[in-house]
A and B are shown apart, each in its own frame.
Chain A
Amino acid sequence: MKILKIMFKNSMRHKLRTSLTILGISVAVIAFIVMRSIVSAWDVGVEAAAADRVIVRNSVSFIFPIPYAYKDKLEKIDGVKRVTWANWFGGVYKEKENFFGRLAVDHNTFLDVYPEFLITPDEKKMFMEDIQSCIIGEATANQFNIKKGDIVTLQGDIYPGNWDFKVAAVYKPRDKITDATGMYFRWDYLNERLEKESPDRANDAGWYVLQVNDPKQIAAISQKVDNYFKNSAAATKTESERAFNQGFISSSSAILTAMNVVSFVIIGIIMLVLGNTMIMSARERTREYSVLKTLGFSGKHLTGLILGESLLISLIGGTVGLLLGEMVVTGLGQVVPKTIFPLLEVTTLNTILAMVAALLTGFIASIFPIHKAVNTKIVDGFRFVG
């Protein structure tokens, strides 16, 4: 018989109480994992940012355009390898609820600056040759059953009218953090029609994206760009793509912070539940601890028994919670549209955090019972009536 066996038998002494405690820890870990996964999914945009890309936008606001004429000047700035640009199109695909990003992009440079969108050479050829063509991410294509060669019609809101596009490619994301939900069509198609229908809105870019030779030079290049256009009709604000994306999600930061806090509060609550269970167990066994001490068991042995039992319960609860949490997150990932959370998964960091939190809960919950068991005099323990 080993000490481990006594620990296990002790933990199973009140099966219902232990099961409910394990269930409580599992539920807490599930909630923790789901919340942390959502927070992590929110941050995917930041993680997906390329180190060598710089965003140039209107200094007043992202919604104001920048003249197309800036392109030549941007290309001439030292350290800039490529310049591409895009306009946010908006629009509605069949129903207002069918949300995914729709952007007009420069077909000549877009795929070079964004190599994470993978299409075949033939598809690229079609995108280059047909002004009405577009490429769509596979997540959106799968969601709306859109196939290569299909005509996709958008009802414009920022740019009124019906807009037809021919799907040249369903692009694949290079990796898990690449957005597979976007629709990108040719900027020249948008601009040509604007020149005819609303000439005053033509020849504008929503923002520019600069690909730089050396990411270390981003700060210097950004400053150079902003200084260059400081006294122009549209002053610019230039920053790394990572900083730009961070700014974009910062509007949700209060919600994210709240979710982060709540996820840890849940762990705190379950710590109290497990602590209560351990205190009750230790209290019931006050006489037994005195018996063990009488037999020669030391404070270290009792510490091992109580801590081990607490860690065993939290480990089982944590593992069950983690497995169920992974199933819940996977299920959510399938139900929630990719446009909301392109990558909803349980990350290694969150797995480690959940297990550490569960074990830490077990550790902290055992401190008081250990203190009591070790410091109660043997004779007082025998007099104890629980």
Chain B
Amino acid sequence: MSTLIEVTNLQKSYWRNNIEIPVLNKLNLGVESGEFLALMGPSGSGKTTLLNLIAGIDRPTEGKITIDGSDIAKMSESNLAKWRSANIGFIFQFYNLIPVLTAYENVELPLLLTKLKKDERKKHVETALTIVGLGDRMHHSPKQLSGGQEQRVAIARAIVTDPLILVADEPTGDLDKNSATEILNLMEKLNKEYKKTIVMVTHDPHAAERAGRILHLEKGELVKETV
């Protein structure tokens, strides 16, 4: 396996009322292609910030993030947006589906930014929804779906463009035990069968067990690694 994500001397600080609040401190990390990595740690340890930086939705204060050979910290906003649409699939804790759109339309959203034709988009959307087991719920609105089903739609939306990396921020945090198990099974399947590289933030040790490697963060530093 080759290194897909390389994080070097990564620092991130936030400023509140002219006071610098350091979140990540000279962090170094490498993630292999096809790896399933879990990030754990107490609140405020910087795990979500690290995930956001890897996903290219936040900017580092210092340091380098190289993904598949591209230094994303140096990209312009518009290039970064294009890069995200092609390379990152994001799974949120609260699903973040657009409530006025059906499951099909939500999954189709990222494809609207591609040059795919309508029938090609349809094929991709149907495949993604079938993979997550919602082939029969395509035209349901988020309101008509359970929490677990909504998260599966969100996963379908994340994989529909066939991205390099899936990033998941507490994907089971809002779900009951059974739904959480289903989602973790699905993520495991995506990692093992579809060779997707996954970086997941979680508080839940059971969820983290599904990953091949667990990194523990505290006060912005990696303190422990469990394989």
Contacts and interface: CB of A to CB of B under 8 A. Distances in A.
Interface of A: 1-3, 5-6, 9-10, 12-13, 287-288, 290-299, 301, 377-379, 382
B116 interface: no
Contacts of B112: 1-3
B169 to A, nearest CB: 9
B58 A9 contact: no
Given A6-B101, A288-B98, A293 B81 contact: yes
B78 A298 contact: yes
A10 B100 contact: yes
B105 A298 contact: no
Contact of A288 (B52, B96, B157): B96
Place the interface of chain B in its size category: 20 to 34
Nearest to A292: B109
Interface of B: 52, 55, 57-58, 77-78, 81-82, 84-86, 88, 90, 92, 96, 98-101, 104-105, 108-110, 112-113, 157
Contact of A295 (B52, B77, B90, B104): B90
A378 B58 contact: yes
Given A294-B55, A297-B81, A379-B57, A1 B108 contact: yes
Nearest to A377: B58
Given A1-B104, A1-B105, A301-B113, 15 more contacts: A1-B108, A3-B112, A287-B96, A291-B92, A294-B84, A294-B88, A294-B90, A295-B90, A295-B113, A296-B82, A296-B84, A297-B81, A297-B85, A298-B81, A299-B77
**Max chain B Cβ within 10 angstroms of own Cβ: one of A3, A12, A13, A378:** A378
A294 B100 contact: no
A154 B100 CA distance: 71
Contacts of A288: 96, 98
A291 B109 CA distance: 11
**Max chain B Cβ within 10 angstroms of own Cβ: one of A2, A5, A292:** A292
**Max chain A Cβ within 10 angstroms of own Cβ: one of B101, B104, B108:** B101
Contact of A379 (B58, B92, B105, B108): B58
